[in-house]
C-alpha cells in the first residue's frame, strides 16, 4: 500500500512531502507529475503562487534530483530532508539541484569557468553549453548562459554572483512580506497584501481606470449591493437617465430609494440609448444628451446588441439614419463622447441574430455619413482569454477605434474556480492592451435559475449584499505599475 504524498517540481528538483500533519511558507508550484517517478496523492494542497501557501508543522520534505544532477549544498546526512518547525520556518538549507561536473574534461572546451558563489544549474548533453545559478543570498549579473565555441567558452566573461540585499525589518511597506529573489537586480521582492499595493516595496497603489460593471437592477437585494464594491470606476444599467435608473430601483425595492452616495460608490454612471423604440426617455433624447446629470459620465453608450432579435433589434440602415438625425448634433452640443452600438456575437444559435457583428458594423459605418465615434462597443462571452483578445483586436484593427467591452464573462460554467481562472487570465490582458479603453463584467448578481451565464460568474451572493470570491478578486484587482 502506497503512503499518500504530494509531489512538487522546481526545475530538475523533485520534492516529496511525506506527512501532512506553526506554519511554513510553500516551496514552489504544485504539480501532479514528477520527473522522478510515480507519485500517488491524497488531496492536492493549495495551488497558485507558492509564497501564499502555508503548511502545518510536522511536515517532512524530502528533496531528490534526477539523473545527472546532485543536491546543492550537499546534505550532511546524505538526504535532503527539511521539516516545518513549529516557529514557522523550514529547517536545513534551501536545496537546489546542480549539474554533476564530472566529464567536462573530455568536452571540446574543457571545464567551464568557475563562478564564486555560483553553480552550474544545467549543462547540454554534449557539454557545449552551461547555465549558471547563484547560491541563496546572491544575485546574478551578466549572462547566465555560457557556450562552447571554437574550443573556448563564450562569452569569456562568466556571470558573477553578488550578495543580495537581505530581507530586513520593514523592507516591505503596508504589511508586505519580503522574499529573497536572486533573479532580479534588487535581490528581494515584496508580496503585497490583497493586491491593493504595488511597487518594489508595496509603496504604491494603482487602481484600474478601465474596470466597470454591468448592473442588472432587477437582481438587486438591497442598496448595500452598491456599497460592498470599493474599486469600480464606472457602471451602467442599460438606462438612459438617472430618473429611469431610480425608477427601476424603487420598483425592485418596493418603494425604497437608495442614497445618491450609494450609486456613486460604483463610480460614474454611463447612460445608454438602449434602442430606438424604448419608452419615453428615447423620445426626450435630445434634451437628455444635451444636459448631463450629476454623477453621470460624459460618455454615452449606443444601442444594446442591435443585431440580436431579443435586444435592441435595430437594423444597421435604420440605426444609422436615426443616429444621424437624433444623436449626432445633440451629443455634439452637450459635449458628449459617443460609444458605438454594441453589435455582438450570436453564440451557437445564429437564429437569434439578424446579422453577424461585422455585417452590422460595416453597414452601419457605411450608412452613418458624418458620424464620428470615440469608441467601439461590443460584448463577448467565452472562456478562452486569448481568443477574446483576438476578437477584440480584430474589431479594433477593422474600425480603428479603441474598444469598450461592455459585457464579459465565461458562459455555461457554474464552477466559480473556473470563472476565477478565466478572470485571472483575461484582466491582465485587458489592462495591458492600450486599445482597450474600458471593460465591464456581466453581471453583478446571478442566480441558480440562470442557464447561460450561470451563478458561478456572480460577483455578489445570490441572497446577500456580500461579494463572492470572484467578486472580491474583481473588486480588488489592480494592474501592475
- CATH classification at residue 178: 2.10.25.10
Q: Which of 354, 346, 377 is nearest to 452 (CA)?
A: 346
**pLDDT on residue 297:** 93
Question: Cα-Cα-Cα-Cα dihedral of 399, 212, 235, 274, to 10°?
Answer: 30
Query: Once rounded to an integer, what is the mean pLDDT over residues 248-263?
Result: 91
Distance CA 335, CA 139 (A): 55
In terms of domains, do 144 and 17 share one?
no
The answer to whether residue 187 is domain-embedded is yes
- CATH classification at residue 132: 2.10.70.10
**pLDDT on residue 278:** 54
Bridge partners (DSSP) of residue 378 are 405
Q: How many other C-beta atoms can be found within 10 angstroms of the C-beta atom of residue 90?
A: 16
Domain-ending residue, one of 42, 69, 98: 98
Whole-prediction pTM value? 0.60
Distance CA 202, CA 73 (A): 33
Cβ proximity of 477 and 466 under 8 Å? no
Cβ proximity of 68 and 53 under 8 Å? no
Query: Once rounded to an integer, what is the mean pLDDT over residues 93-116?
Result: 69
The answer to whether residue 1 is domain-embedded is no
In terms of domains, do 362 and 461 share one?
yes
In terms of domains, do 287 and 159 share one?
no
What are 472's three cell numbers?
A: 472580491
In terms of domains, do 220 and 302 share one?
yes
**pLDDT on residue 53:** 41
**Is the pLDDT score of 199 beyond 80?**
no
Reading across the β-sheet that carries 402-409, which strands appear in turn? 268-269, 234-236, 211-214, 436-442, 402-409, 375-381, 337-339, 299-301
Domain-ending residue, one of 98, 119, 144: 98
Distance CA 335, CA 289 (A): 9
Considering its fold, how many domains does the chain have in total? 4
The answer to whether residue 140 is domain-embedded is yes
- CATH classification at residue 280: 3.20.20.80
User: Which H or E run contains 389?
Assistant: helix 385-399
Cβ proximity of 366 and 330 under 8 Å? no
Query: Once rounded to an integer, what is the mean pLDDT over residues 225-240?
Result: 94
What are 386's three cell numbers?
A: 486569448
The answer to whether residue 379 is domain-embedded is yes
Domain-ending residue, one of 205, 227, 258: 205
In terms of domains, do 159 and 15 share one?
no
In terms of domains, do 31 and 131 share one?
no
In terms of domains, do 248 and 135 share one?
no
The answer to whether residue 27 is domain-embedded is yes
Query: In Å, what is the CA distance from 77 to each residue of 80, 81, 92, 401, 434?
Result: 8, 9, 11, 65, 55
**Is the pLDDT score of 202 beyond 50?**
yes
Reading across the β-sheet that carries 145-149, which strands appear in turn? 118-123, 129-134, 145-149, 152-154
pLDDT grade for 426, boundaries at 50, 70 and 90: very high
In terms of domains, do 346 and 417 share one?
yes
In terms of domains, do 317 and 366 share one?
yes
The answer to whether residue 481 is domain-embedded is no
Q: Which domain holds residue 56?
A: 6-98
**Is the pLDDT score of 37 beyond 60?**
no
In terms of domains, do 146 and 56 share one?
no
In terms of domains, do 186 and 261 share one?
no
**Is the pLDDT score of 8 beyond 60?**
no
- 3-state percent helix, strand, coil for the chain, nearest multiple of 5: 25, 25, 50
Question: 370: buried, middle or exposed (CB in 10 Å: 19+, 13-18, 0-12)?
Answer: exposed
Pick the range with the lowest mean pLDDT from 190-194, 264-268, 395-399.
190-194
**pLDDT on residue 156:** 60
Contacts of 315-320 with CB under 8 Å at 24 or more apart are 315/354, 316/355, 316/359, 316/360, 316/361, 316/362, 316/363, 316/364, 316/367, 317/363, 317/367, 318/276, 319/276, 319/364, 319/368, 320/363, 320/364, 320/367, 320/368, 320/369, 320/371
Q: Is the CA virtual torsion 111, 114, 117, 121 positive or negative?
A: negative
Distance CA 322, CA 446 (A): 34
Q: How do beta strands 211-214 and 234-236 pair? A: parallel
In terms of domains, do 307 and 411 share one?
yes
The answer to whether residue 264 is domain-embedded is yes
Distance of alpha carbon 188 from its chain centroid, rounded?
A: 24
Question: Cα-Cα-Cα-Cα dihedral of 462, 463, 464, 467, to 10°?
Answer: 0
**pLDDT on residue 10:** 39
Distance of alpha carbon 207 from its chain centroid, rounded?
A: 14
Query: In Å, what is the CA distance from 450 to each residue of 175, 344, 348, 401?
Result: 40, 20, 17, 33
Amino acid at each position: 500500500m502506497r503512503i499518500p504524498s504530494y509531489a512538487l517540481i522546481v526545475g530538475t528538483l523533485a520534492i516529496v512531502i511525506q506527512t501532512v500533519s506553526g506554519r511554513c511558507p510553500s516551496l514552489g508550484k504544485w504539480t501532479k507529475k514528477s520527473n522522478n517517478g510515480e507519485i500517488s496523492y491524497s488531496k492536492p494542497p493549495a495551488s497558485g503562487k507558492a509564497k501564499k501557501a502555508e503548511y502545518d508543522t510536522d511536515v517532512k520534505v524530502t528533496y531528490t534530483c534526477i539523473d545527472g544532477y546532485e543536491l546543492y549544498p550537499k546534505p550532511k546526512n546524505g538526504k535532503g530532508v527539511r521539516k516545518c518547525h513549529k516557529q514557522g520556518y523550514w529547517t536545513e538549507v534551501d536545496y537546489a539541484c546542480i549539474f554533476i561536473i564530472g566529464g567536462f574534461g573530455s568536452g571540446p572546451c574543457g571545464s567551464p569557468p568557475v563562478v564564486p558563489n555560483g553553480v552550474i544549474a544545467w549543462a547540454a548533453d554534449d557539454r557545449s553549453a552551461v547555465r549558471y545559478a547563484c547560491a541563496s543570498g546572491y544575485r546574478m549579473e551578466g549572462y547566465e548562459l555560457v557556450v562552447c565555441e571554437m574550443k573556448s567558452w563564450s562569452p569569456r566573461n562568466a556571470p558573477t554572483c553578488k550578495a543580495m540585499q537581505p530581507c530586513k525589518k520593514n523592507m516591505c511597506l503596508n504589511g508586505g512580506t519580503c522574499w529573497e529573489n536572486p533573479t532580479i537586480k534588487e535581490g528581494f521582492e515584496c508580496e503585497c497584501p490583497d493586491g491593493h499595493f504595488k511597487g518594489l516595496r508595496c509603496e504604491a497603489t494603482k487602481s484600474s481606470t478601465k474596470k466597470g460593471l454591468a448592473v442588472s437592477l432587477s437582481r438587486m437585494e438591497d442598496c448595500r449591493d452598491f456599497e460592498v464594491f470599493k474599486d469600480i470606476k464606472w457602471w451602467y444599467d442599460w438606462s438612459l437617465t438617472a430618473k429611469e435608473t431610480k425608477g427601476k430601483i424603487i420598483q425592485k425595492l418596493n418603494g425604497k430609494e437608495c442614497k445618491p452616495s450609494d450609486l456613486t460608490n460604483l463610480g460614474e454612471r454611463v447612460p445608454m440609448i438602449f434602442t430606438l423604440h424604448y419608452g419615453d426617455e428615447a423620445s426626450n433624447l435630445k434634451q437628455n444628451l444635451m444636459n448631463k446629470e450629476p454623477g453621470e459620465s460624459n460618455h454615452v453608450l449606443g444601442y444594446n446588441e442591435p443585431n440580436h432579435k431579443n435586444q435592441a433589434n435595430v437594423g444597421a440602415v435604420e440605426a444609422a439614419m436615426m443616429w444621424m438625425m437624433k444623436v449626432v448634433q445633440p451629443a455634439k452640443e452637450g459635449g458628449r463622447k459617443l460609444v458605438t452600438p454594441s453589435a455582438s456575437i450570436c453564440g451557437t444559435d445564429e437564429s437569434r441574430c439578424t446579422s453577424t457583428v461585422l455585417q452590422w458594423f460595416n453597414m452601419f459605418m457605411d450608412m452613418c455619413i458624418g458620424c464620428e465615434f470615440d469608441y467601439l462597443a461590443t460584448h463577448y462571452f467565452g472562456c478562452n482569454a486569448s481568443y477574446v483578445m483576438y476578437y477584440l483586436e480584430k474589431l479594433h484593427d477593422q474600425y480603428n477605434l479603441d474598444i469598450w467591452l461592455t459585457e464579459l464573462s465565461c458562459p455555461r460554467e457554474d464552477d466559480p474556480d473556473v470563472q476565477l481562472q478565466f478572470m485571472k487570465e483575461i484582466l491582465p490582458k485587458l489592462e495591458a492592451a492600450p486599445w482597450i479603453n474600458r471593460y465591464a463584467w456581466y453581471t453583478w448578481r446571478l442566480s441558480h435559475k440562470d442557464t447561460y451565464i450561470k451563478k458561478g460568474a456572480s460577483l455578489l451572493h445570490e441572497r446577500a449584499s456580500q461579494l463572492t470570491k470572484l467578486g472580491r478578486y474583481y473588486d480588488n484587482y489592480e494592474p501592475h505599475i
